[in-house]
A and B are shown apart, each in its own frame.
Chain A
Amino acid sequence: NFMLTQPHSVSESPGKTVTISCTPSSGSIASNYVQWFQQRPGSAPTTVIYEDTQRPSGVPDRFSGSIDTSSNSASLTISGLKTEDEAYYYCQSYNNDIYVVFGGGTKLTVL
């Protein structure tokens, strides 16, 4: 079954930069767009990146998305970390067989 793999957790200090990866179990990461969602504890998810690199209005430019075909992975980079960025982050993409697939989520701790 097609899966997206994310690190279980990452941590970094305020003001620093962190990158979260998302790797497909098969196929090219460039084949279908990747989205990224932020979910704070007790809240609904919100979209921070769509179509690999696009930011919805209202999302600060500290959040950026990228695709690396050499490592076959997508990445979410958050610069100038703030304590409010502490949350779970999920990547998501499309697969012809199962349509929508989510990564398992990455817990970001800002300490």
Chain B
Amino acid sequence: QVQLVESGGGVVQPGRSLRLSCIASGFTFNSNGMHWVRQAPGKGLEWVAVISYDGNYKYYADSVKGRFTISRDNSKNTLYLQMNSLRPEDSAVYYCARDYFPRLLRFGFDYWGQGTLVTVSS
């Protein structure tokens, strides 16, 4: 069965960096685009970024553009989110999610990880 397991969250000071990882299993990782979605405490879902199945295309939400970088290592079945210049408003649970259509980006999700909590605070 499809499994997505995030890691790398924690408490970090404003302005610092953090890298999140998402290890995938149960499917052919290099066939699907992958997303990061976040949820601030008590708030709704906010899309962060997406990467195509081959890593050639990347798109970001305006709120993170220029600060966050999405990447993937298909040999390791792993998705990453490098977060730089972190702000208190970046505090959230970060989920990785699979784009539901193989090869093409449909900008929709079928499987989600359990999330990893990032807290940006001094």
- A contacts, CB < 8 Å to B: 32-33, 35, 37, 39, 44-47, 50-51, 56, 90, 92, 94, 98-105
Instruction: Confirm or deny: B113 has a beta carbon within 8 angstroms of a beta carbon on chain A.
Output: yes
Question: Cα distance A94–B108 when bound, in Å?
Answer: 8
Contact indicator B112/A104 (Cβ below 8 Å) = no
Find chain B residues with CB under 8 A from A103 CB.
Answer: 44
Contact indicator A50/B115 (Cβ below 8 Å) = no
A-B contact sample (12 more), CB < 8 A, given A45-B37, A45-B112, A99-B107 = A33-B108, A39-B45, A44-B114, A46-B112, A50-B100, A90-B44, A92-B108, A99-B50, A100-B50, A102-B46, A104-B44, A105-B44
- B contacts, CB < 8 Å to A: 35, 37, 44-47, 50, 59, 61-62, 95, 100, 106-115
Question: Cα distance A50–B111 when bound, in Å?
Answer: 11
Find chain B residues with CB under 8 A from A51 CB.
Answer: 100, 106, 108
Question: Cα distance A100–B107 when bound, in Å?
Answer: 6
Cβ-closest chain B residue relative to A100: B47
Query: In the assembled complex, how far is the CB of residue B64 from the closest CB belonging to chain A, in whole angstroms?
Result: 12
Query: In the assembled complex, how far is the CB of residue A44 from the closest CB belonging to chain B, in whole angstroms?
Result: 5
Query: Which 3 interchain pairs have the tightest Cβ spacing?
Result: A100-B47, A94-B107, A35-B108
Contact indicator A101/B110 (Cβ below 8 Å) = no
Question: Cα distance A104–B62 when bound, in Å?
Answer: 18
Question: Cα distance A105–B46 when bound, in Å?
Answer: 11
Contact of B110 among A33, A50, A104 (CB under 8 A): A50
